[in-house]
Structure formats: C-alpha cells, structure tokens
Amino acid sequence: MSQTEFDPKDFRRALSQFPTGVTVITTLDAEGNPVGVTASSFNSVSMDPTLVLWSIDKGAHSLSAFENAEHFAVNVLSRDQVATSNNFASRGEDKFANAEYTAGLGDAPVLNDYAAQFECKTWAVYEGGDHLILVGEVLDYRYNDDAEPLVFARGSYAVSAQHPEMVKSSAPCTANEDDFVGDYLLYLLRESYQLFSADLYPKLMHECGVTPEEWRILARMISCPAIKISDLVGMVMQPEAALRETADFMTDKGLVEYQDKNTLSVTDKGAQVAAQMKKLAQSEETALLNQLTSEQSAQLKDSLKTLIEKLG
C-alpha cells in the first residue's frame, strides 16, 4: 500500500491530462488464437537495443496470453480507427471478427490498417503494481505517412493537428503574395474552432462547473434526458471505459444518474446545469454571429451542414 493514498478516479483524471496515442497490442494465446487489446500505455525505452514497452492490467482476460507470449505486435491506430479501438477495448469474445489482419513475426497478428506497426520479441516482463510491464525488442517496423495518428486525452478521442501558433506567419505577406494557408478551408475551420472553444470552454467551467467532456454529454442529453451508454460512445468520441469514468464524475456531482448499468438519465440538477450551459453557449454563438449579417449567418450554417452531409 502506498504511503500516500489518492482517490483512484481523481488520480486517473489527473493522468488523463497527458495526451497519448492509441494502440492495439496483438499476440497469440497458448492455443494459437489471436488476442488483442487496446492500450495507450505504449512508449519507447531504448534505441540500442531497440526496446519499447506497454503495460496490461493484471485483471485483463488476455493477461496470460501476453505474459507468456514470445512475440507481440504494436499497432498504432490512425484517426479513422476509432471503431477498431472500441472493438479491441470491448469485452467481446471474437474481437478479430471485425478486423482484417495477417500473420506477422512469430505468427502474431498484425492489423492491415495502421499509422505505424512494431513487431516485437518479448524482452522482459516486470511487476508493476496492479499491472504487468511488458518490454519488447523491435524486430521490424513500418509506418504510414499518409495516416494521421489517433490521439487520446481527457478521456476522449482526438486527432493530432498543428498548433495555430505554428502556422502564424512571422511576418505579414506582401500584397502580391498568395496567402494559401489563410484562405484554405481546413485551416479556416480549425482556426475558427480553436478560437471559439478557447473562449467557450473556460466559461463553461467557470460559470457551469463542467469540463468539455461533461459538456458534450450534457449537451446531448438536453434533447434526450435518458440515453444508453452505447449510443453516447459514438456521439461524444469517448471509448466506453472512459465515458463511464466521466459519467461517474458527473454522478458524483449530481448531474446524471444510472437508470440501469447501461443507461444514463439526467437529474434535476443536471437539467438545470444543461439549461444554463445551453444559454451560455447560445449567447457566445450569438455574440460571434452578430459580427455577420443575418443572411451570412444562415448561409454559413447551411453551408457547413451541407458539407458535413456530403463528407459523411
């Protein structure tokens, strides 16, 4: 027992402030069946020899398979593989039924889609409290420059993006130069989101006491006071385990409650907070759109809705 005792939920919340990538670790069990788990504990250890590590909960169903495996593969997921992450994070029996893969070194399965892959030979297994730490020697690797890596932070999926400060020009363009970045749709959308959310999220916390993750859940529950966890997962871009942690925090705050183990309902307090944050969000939106004409505001929203429909 540690001399310093923390609230486990609150400690995990502090750890969630550190963004990580998302991986699926794969191997074969003693019977030769493919085994895979989603993990964000992957890290580099050494360049000579080339070592990487990850950790697995001692309560995991696949613990024995990884503890005794001679080989395993680390599949770093791309931004388009949220469903893959959720699949391997679930408790389903045959996670590979929905995943395309081939046999890699030591016959450990490697996924066909990836941002990067590291095929490893188990180098060491260490005790790590309630986890085992598995160190692998990288025997082969590959990566896909065309794939954007999937990111996990504060209990939610995200994508990597260049920070706005990195794309600001050190000096203004002259009149005869084309400002490609400043006129590019992707940059304009991202910059608008960054600037708007950077102002909105702190106000939501200060005035309503909700984090961005809690805001996404409550915003969905404004029109749907009772909703299944499985339906929320895709809506708020959180894997189920992380979503349940956020829901637990919201339960502690009295914002939501469990109707049953798979359904959340908003409380009277939660409904009041949701109404307060909706009013705040709409006020912020109005202040922003007041800088445009009514026609421009309507056209902007209609155009964005059309783009979302076309891209979807």
Please list the residues that pair with 52 across neighbouring strands.
44, 136
User: How confident is the model over 168-224, as pLDDT tens digits?
Assistant: 544 455 544 567 777 888 888 888 888 888 889 899 989 999 988 899 899 999 988
| pLDDT score recorded for residue 164 | 60
Q: Which of 2-6, 109-113, 139-143 has the lowest mean pLDDT?
A: 2-6
**Partners of residue 142 on adjacent β-strands:** 117
Is residue 163 scored above 50 in pLDDT?
yes
End-to-end CA separation in angstroms for the chain: 50
The pLDDT assigned to 243 comes to 87
Contacts of 98 (CB under 8 A, 6+ apart): 83, 87
DSSP string, 49-114: TEEEEEEEETT-TTHHHHHT-SEEEEEEPBTT-HHHHHHHHS--S-GGGG--EEE-GGG-EEESS-
pLDDT at 7: 84
Q: Residue 307 above 50 pLDDT?
A: yes
pTM of the shown model: 0.74
Assigned fold of 165-311: Arc Repressor Mutant, subunit A (1.10.10)
Peptide bond before residue 49 is cis, with ω within 30 degrees of 0: yes
> 2 pLDDT exceeds 70?
no
Domain(s) labelled CATH 1.10.10.10 in the chain stretch across 165-311
- Residues of each domain in the chain carrying CATH 2.30.110.10: 18-153
User: What contacts 117, CB < 8 A, 6 or more positions away?
Assistant: 73, 74, 75, 76, 104, 110, 111, 141, 142, 143
Helix (H, G, I), strand (E, B) or coil at 197: helix
Instruction: Please give the CATH number for the structural domain made up of 18-153.
Output: 2.30.110.10
Tell me the pLDDT of the chain averaged across its residues.
Answer: 88
Phi, psi of 184 (to 5 degrees): -90, 130
235 touches 242 (CB < 8 A): no
pLDDT digits (tens, 9 = 90+) for 64-88: 999 999 999 999 999 999 989 988 9
The DSSP 8-state label assigned to residue 177 in this structure reads: S
pLDDT confidence of residue 1: 45
Higher pLDDT, 168 or 90: 90
